[in-house]
Amino acid sequence: MRVLLSTYGTRGDVEPLVALAVRLQELGVEVRMCAPPDEEFAQRLAGLGMQLVPVGPPVRELMRGATLPSAAELSRYRTEMVDTQFDVFPGAADGCDALVAAGLAQIAARSVAEAAGIHYVYASYSAVNLPSPYHAPPPRPGWPEPDATDNLTLWDLDAENVNAQFAEPLNGHRAAIGLRPVDNVRDHVYTDQPWLAADPVLGAWRETPGLDVIQTGAWGLPDERPLPAELLTFLDAGTPPVYVGFGSMRPAPDIARRAVEAIRAQGHRVLVSRGWADLDLVDGRDDCFAIGEVNHQRLFGRVAAVVHHGGAGTTLTAARAGAPQVVVPLQLADNPYWAGRVADLDIGAALDAPTLTTESLNVAFKTALSPETRARAKALGAKLRTDGAAVAANRLLDDLVRKR
């Protein structure tokens, strides 16, 4: 059997599909993956013996600026991506038995699967991305801010915005390959039985009429890489530091500096992860150490707390390590949702970046660094599953066997 996996985004979007791909390979399935052409993704897949089919521009280039592209630029990127997907996906899906797409950006995936007569699965990494009366849609950059507060109304407006962006190009391509038009693009992409690749303790789905969500657990792999010698020396030289990192996001320039100052005020050492924003040390003091890309699974078990932007992967890794968290979410995608989950579960604190103050930072760190918070974080970490990718791979294979 052969399966095509597809996503577009940063490492947090690609790595879960890599985990699913590895588990599928262990079951004897051949895997191809459509992903951005960034060199780090190509190297990652090549090291696992997988074929990368590049789609769209490199993500790092899109994230290079200090601010997001304008609404007009984002609209153009999105339309161009639909055209690119219809150019690339049919060839990538040739000979495949199934196509698994992760993320709303995969507008063409279901249509290509339909035209090829192959099984299609849509996957989300966070419950907040799926329509529900229990939460509002996630922030979508470049689209109008809704003038409503009721969750169901907000989801209706969200569907209208998705249609306004994608209905015309999608249905134009569908007509060209002999398929009927769709009148609700978002729900067409999602299907009425989406998969939720999130831990049921950390990010549970609440049953919603009309949507039969299959929650598999989060998709990840064990990371056995050792920590760099210089980092180990720093860790061994004193008490556990507080980690500060924002991954592929670019926070306001002063957020990292203010976080370091607040951590020092609590008497803790600091680890600064450079990330895509290329964060650096505030000064030359020996209580602060800068790192590049390292094994977070090993590192987070040795820190006092983790300060981050609210990415699904970082939130999960810190939670599994039993590390308290301080989340400073950018108003993007699922970042505010994961910040809220950390606060609701009492395993740390959540801050609003635009209204960040010295006082709120100090309160957040006092909360996260308290013995009570650490005890709750450790207790929750012991409950989190690690088999999500294997569960999903087995379910997909079972579905394909039944169809055959």
In tens, the pLDDT along 328-385 reads 997 778 999 999 999 999 999 999 877 788 899 999 999 999 999 999 999 999 999 9
Dihedrals phi, psi of 102, to nearest 5 degrees: -120, 120
Chain length of the chain: 404
- pLDDT tens-digit series, residues 284-298: 789 999 999 999 999
- pLDDT tens-digit series, residues 45-69: 999 988 899 999 998 877 766 567 7
Cβ atoms of residues 312 and 12 within 8 Å: yes
DSSP state of 146: P
| Interval 236-248 mean pLDDT | 93
- pLDDT tens-digit series, residues 186-214: 999 999 999 999 999 999 999 999 899 99
**Among 35, 17, 31, 124, residue whose Cα is nearest residue 84:** 35
Radius of gyration of the chain (CA): 21
Q: Residue 404, CB half-sphere, CA atoms under 13 Å: how many?
A: 9
For residue 252, name the pLDDT band (cuts at 50, 70, 90).
confident
Q: Which pTM does this prediction carry?
A: 0.95
pLDDT for 355: 79
Cβ atoms of residues 401 and 2 within 8 Å: no
pLDDT for 147: 84
For residue 306, name the pLDDT band (cuts at 50, 70, 90).
very high
The CA distance from 175 to 163, in Å, is 16
Residue 144 one-letter amino acid: P
Alpha helices by DSSP H, listed for 266-309, are 296-299
Dihedrals phi, psi of 32, to nearest 5 degrees: -120, 155
Residue 276 has pLDDT above 80, yes or no: no
Q: Which strand (E) or helix (H) includes residue 34?
A: strand 30-35
The 3-state DSSP class for residue 310 equals coil
- pLDDT tens-digit series, residues 105-149: 999 999 999 999 999 999 999 999 999 999 999 988 888 888 888
- Beta strands across the sheet bearing 242-244: 288-291, 270-273, 242-244, 305-308, 325-327, 348-350
Tokens (6 digits) for 221: 């792999």
Q: Residue 64 CA to chain centroid, in angstroms?
A: 18
The 3-state DSSP class for residue 368 equals helix
pLDDT for 277: 78
Mean pLDDT of the residues in the chain: 94
pLDDT for 65: 62
Q: Is the dihedral of CA 374, 378, 383, 388 positive or negative?
A: positive
The CA distance from 33 to 285, in Å, is 44
Residue 34 one-letter amino acid: C
pLDDT for 302: 98
Name beta bridge partners: 195: 123, 214
The CA distance from 251 to 149, in Å, is 27
Residue 320 one-letter amino acid: R
Dihedrals phi, psi of 352, to nearest 5 degrees: -100, 110
Domains of the chain, with CATH numbers? Answer: 2-221+386-403 (3.40.50.2000), 229-381 (3.40.50.2000)
pLDDT for 358: 85
pLDDT for 143: 87
Q: Residue 229 CA to chain centroid, in angstroms?
A: 29
In degrees, to the nearest 5, what angle opens at C-alpha 18 toward C-alphas 394 and 5? 70
For residue 251, name the pLDDT band (cuts at 50, 70, 90).
confident
Cβ atoms of residues 206 and 132 within 8 Å: yes
Cβ atoms of residues 161 and 139 within 8 Å: no
In the chain, pLDDT over 90 holds for what percent of residues?
Answer: 82
Dihedrals phi, psi of 327, to nearest 5 degrees: -105, 125
